[in-house]
Chains A and B, each alone.
Chain A
Amino acid sequence: MVRILKAFAWLRWRMLVNALERTGSRDALERFSIAIEKLGPLLAAILMIPSVLGVSVLGGAAGYALAQGAARPILFEVCRYLLLAVTALAIIGPLFLPAADRTNPIRLLLLPIPRSVLYVAQSSAAFGDPWNLLAIPLLGTVAIGMAAGGEPAAALVALIAAVAFVVLIVGLASLATSVLHLLVRDRRRGELVALLFIVIIPAASMLPGMLSTGSRRSRDGAHRRIVAPAWVSNAGARVMSVVPSQIYAASAREAAGRNYGAASTRIAVLAGIGLLLHGLGAAAFKRVLDSPGSSGARRCSSPVPGRSGSTRRCGSPSSWS
């Protein structure tokens, strides 16, 4: 298993290096296209270094503040929101990343790789996602900050919670990738998903404004207080309580307050959700490997007259055999 994972690490490294170093361009338009294509990863690589340093300082300071007894230090709140964004990006990230090698494990099926190892290899690709490259030092330095603040036991608990959180995020990304692969391998279904995505994103962006409490000025100039319905607030609170980043943050806070029992319970919840996501991710991945999408086949069910037990085929016959 180690040999295969090493081979996969080498594969991803070479693909990254080749994407940055080699052009293989043939004309000016292609050269321009490749330059644009390379600019993104280059900029990301350049920005990543100061970003990692920045989040490391932020995490260290937040952990230190927690260990010093602050109930809700603003720096830790910033960390919490960043981790919430990481959770969201783990779900929608596969839609944006050029994940051709990550989402196409079919080609690897021809090689002597056990399916379980293939799942681990594919899942571990999530460690290379930019948001995870930022989240890991952030989580690590929160624990370091707590230890520096004189709470080594709390730091250890926070570190365990961080590991559980990362495992969960990897599982979430893996599940999202496999589900996306299953959805888009049928062209029509893929287009429907893209359409829904285009409609849902703007609609979702309007929701906070629609549901927020606060005051608005009416036509006659008087201020009118808008209060979100109670069920919205309750549902929101309930949803947020099971968001992994919230569970991690609560666990770290409780550990800093030396409430290790409650912190451990939250870690167990994180681990449980992580296991569940990996289980679902493995099942979805198995479905990806077993489903006939690679044959590019789409089927109709209307029978052909005169051919017993057979059905009509859709599309080009060459895509069938």
Chain B
Amino acid sequence: MAELTRDTIARMDLAVETRGLTRDFGSFRAVDGIDLQVPAGSFYGFLGPNGAGKSTTIKCLTGLLKPSGGSMQILGTDPLADPVSVKRRIGVVPEDLALFDRLTAEETLLFVAQIHGIELPTARARSADLLEVMDLKGAGTTLVTDFSHGMRKKLSLAAALLPAPRLLFLDEPFEGIDAVASRQIKDLMQSFLSRGGTIFLTSHILEIVERLSTHIGVIAHGKLVAQGRIDDLRAGGGIGRTLEELFIGLVGGEARPHTSLDWI
């Protein structure tokens, strides 16, 4: 398994660090003792095939699921010991988006602001900015229930960004959205990174991860099979190797038995 070198880690603060993180569902082990190291200020792409344990990991990191074992540090704080403090400093776009259908876009952002204790004038100003950047300004007074999937993704990202977090967790943010919305989200993520934020993203779309990420972690069958700077990992597998080739090599896709499907 490729790893960040000890010196590199020592020089960098870690935004996310887990040791032996484990999550069981009954007798099934969905996450099997993973040691994540996400440097602060990095764009960390967390990859894995369907069912590998990506979303379970992100749910453990964001407090949606309690791990069965191991330890975690998010921005230097144990989220199990002080979950509220951690949640004040992170933003999350979960897979199911977690929006209230019966609120408008503006109301959704104002509710999040109230929970974070943001003053109303500041909340209104930030909401207006975010809705404009997300191209949702005209839909500010529309109920979330009438939003398209892409609009919901953008609103969920706006809600995550509103309290100005230092760390963003994005679970499949590009799934099911069009190229325009995808571009807007990418621009916003780049802007967030340039201001010193850290992004932890899961995605099936390897091209996007390859283009945006500085670091990646690859999970398969609940185990972390690779982690490090994306360039280092690619170089380790041979010059010119793409992320897709690297990924398939790591998760064992090449070894899968093929049938000829002559009957098609």
Show the binding face of A for B, using Cβ within 8 Å: 3-4, 6-7, 10-11, 14-15, 18-19, 22, 24, 26, 100-101, 106-107, 109-114, 290, 292, 294-295, 297, 299, 301, 307, 309-311, 313, 317-318, 320-321
Contacts and interface: CB of A to CB of B under 8 A. Distances in A.
B56 A321 contact: yes
B27 A299 contact: yes
Contacts of A113: 84, 87, 115
Nearest to B59: A295
Contacts of B64: 106, 109-110, 294
Interface stretch (B12-20, B103-111, B178-186, B236-244): B103-111
A106 B65 CA distance: 10
Contacts, number: 112
B108 to A, nearest CB: 10
B87 A111 contact: yes
Contacts of B116: 111-112
25 contacts: A10-B114, A14-B102, A14-B107, A15-B103, A18-B102, A24-B145, A100-B101, A101-B102, A109-B63, A110-B62, A110-B63, A110-B94, A111-B112, A112-B87, A112-B115, A113-B87, A290-B66, A294-B59, A295-B55, A299-B25, A307-B221, A310-B28, A311-B26, A320-B56, A321-B48
A24 B142 contact: yes
Contact of A15 (B29, B52, B102): B102
9 cross-chain pairs, A with B, having the tightest CB-CB distances, nearest first: A317-B51, A107-B98, A7-B114, A112-B87, A24-B146, A317-B50, A15-B102, A311-B28, A320-B51
A22 B98 contact: no
Interface in B188-243: 221
Contacts of A10: 111, 114
A131 B206 CA distance: 54
A313 B114 contact: no
B173 interface: no
Contact of A3 (B63, B84, B87, B114): B114
Given A22-B143, A307-B221, A310-B221, A7 B103 contact: no
B213 to A, nearest CB: 19
Contacts of B142: 24
Interface residues of B, number: 47
Given A111-B115, A292-B65, 12 more contacts: A7-B114, A14-B102, A18-B103, A110-B94, A295-B59, A301-B27, A301-B28, A311-B26, A320-B30, A320-B50, A320-B56, A321-B50
A10 B120 CA distance: 13
A4 B115 contact: yes
Nearest to A298: B25
A111 B87 CA distance: 6
Contact of A295 (B65, B107, B111): B65
A3 B114 CA distance: 7
B92 A110 contact: yes
A107 B96 CA distance: 9
A6 B114 CA distance: 9
B29 A309 contact: yes
B53 interface: yes
A24 B87 contact: no
Given A15-B103, A114-B84, A321 B30 contact: yes
Nearest to A297: B25
A210 B108 CA distance: 53
Contacts of A112: 83-85, 87-88, 115-116
A317 B64 CA distance: 19
A14 B25 contact: no
A24 B112 CA distance: 23
B70 interface: no
Contacts of B145: 24
A137 to B, nearest CB: 27
Contacts of B55: 295, 320-321
Given A22-B143, A24-B143, A110 B87 contact: yes
Contacts of B112: 111
Contacts of B48: 321
A154 B183 CA distance: 70
B27 to A, nearest CB: 5
Contacts of A318: 50-51
Contacts of A106: 64, 98
Contact of B104 (A18, A114, A311): A18
Interface string B43-71: 00000101111111001001111100000
Contacts of B54: 321
B117 interface: yes
A11 B100 CA distance: 9
B95 to A, nearest CB: 9
Nearest to A106: B64
A312 to B, nearest CB: 8
Given A112-B84, A311-B27, A321 B100 contact: no
